Amino acid sequence: APLLQPGPEPTYHSQQAYAPEDNFTAKWTRADARQIKRMSDPTAGSRQNSMPAEYTMPSVPQDFPDMSNGQVWVWDSWPLTDADGNQYSVNGQEIIFSLVADRSLGFDDRHVFAKIGYFYRPAGIPAEQRPENGGWTYGGLVFAEGVTGQIFEDQSYSHQTQWSGSARIFPGGEVKLFFTDVAFYRDAKGNDIKPYDPRIALSVGHVHANKNGVKFTGFDKVISLLEADGTYYQTAEQNPYFNFRDPFTFKDPAHPGETYMVFEGNSAMPRVSAKCTAEDLGYQEGDPYAETVPQVNASGATYQIGNIGLAKAKNADLTEWEFLPPILSANCVTDQTERPQIYMKDGKYYLFTISHSTTYAAGITGPEGVYGFVGNGIRSDYQPMNQGSGLVLGNPSNLNYWPGTPYDPDYNQPAGHFQSYSHYVMPGGLVQSFIDTVGVKEDFRRGGTLAPTVKINIHGDSSEVDHSYGFNGNGLGGWADISANLNVNPSGVI
Q: Active-site residues: which are they?
A: 76, 338
Smallest distance, ligand FRU to C-beta of residue 369, A: 12
Site for ligand FRU in 188-247 (CB under 6 A): 245-246
Contact status, residue 169 vs residue 203, Cβ threshold 8 Å: no
Q: Does 115 bind ligand FRU (CB under 6 A)?
A: yes
| Burial status of residue 231 (CB atoms within 10 A of its CB: 0-12, 13-18, 19 or more) | exposed
Smallest distance, ligand FRU to C-beta of residue 308, A: 12
Binding-site member from 31, 39, 60, 99 for ligand FRU (CB under 6 A) = 99
Q: Does 76 bind ligand FRU (CB under 6 A)?
A: yes
Site for ligand FRU in 375-394 (CB under 6 A): 377
- Where is 264: in which H helix or E strand? strand 260-266
**CB atoms inside a 10 Å sphere around CB 253:** 9
Could you tell me whether strands 88-90 and 486-488 are parallel, antiparallel, or unpaired per DSSP bridges?
parallel
Q: Does 109 bind ligand FRU (CB under 6 A)?
A: no
Q: Does 313 bind ligand FRU (CB under 6 A)?
A: no
Contact status, residue 427 vs residue 455, Cβ threshold 8 Å: no
Site for ligand FRU in 18-37 (CB under 6 A): 18-19
Q: Does 101 bind ligand FRU (CB under 6 A)?
A: yes
Q: How far, in Å, are 306, 308, 309, 323 from residue 270 at the CA level? A: 13, 17, 17, 19
The secondary structure of 349-402, three-state, reads EEEEEEECCCCECCCCCCCCEEEEEEECCCEECCEECCCCCCEEEECCCCCCCC
Smallest distance, ligand FRU to C-beta of residue 128, A: 28
- Encoded one letter per residue, x for contact with ligand FRU by CB under 6 A and - for no contact, window 329-348 reads -------x-xx---------
Nearer to ligand FRU, 176 or 245 (CB): 245
Within 8 A by CB and 6+ apart from 472, the residues are: none
Contact status, residue 223 vs residue 178, Cβ threshold 8 Å: no
Nearer to ligand FRU, 90 or 116 (CB): 116
Number of residues forming the site for ligand FRU (CB under 6 A)? 29
Site for ligand FRU in 396-425 (CB under 6 A): 421-422
Smallest distance, ligand FRU to C-beta of residue 245, A: 5
Smallest distance, ligand FRU to C-beta of residue 160, A: 10
Which is nearest to 20 in space by CA: 256, 199, 372?
Answer: 256
Q: What residue ranges bind ligand FRU (CB under 6 A)?
A: 17-19, 72, 75-76, 99-102, 111, 113-115, 141, 145, 163-164, 180, 245-246, 254, 264, 336, 338-339, 377, 421-422
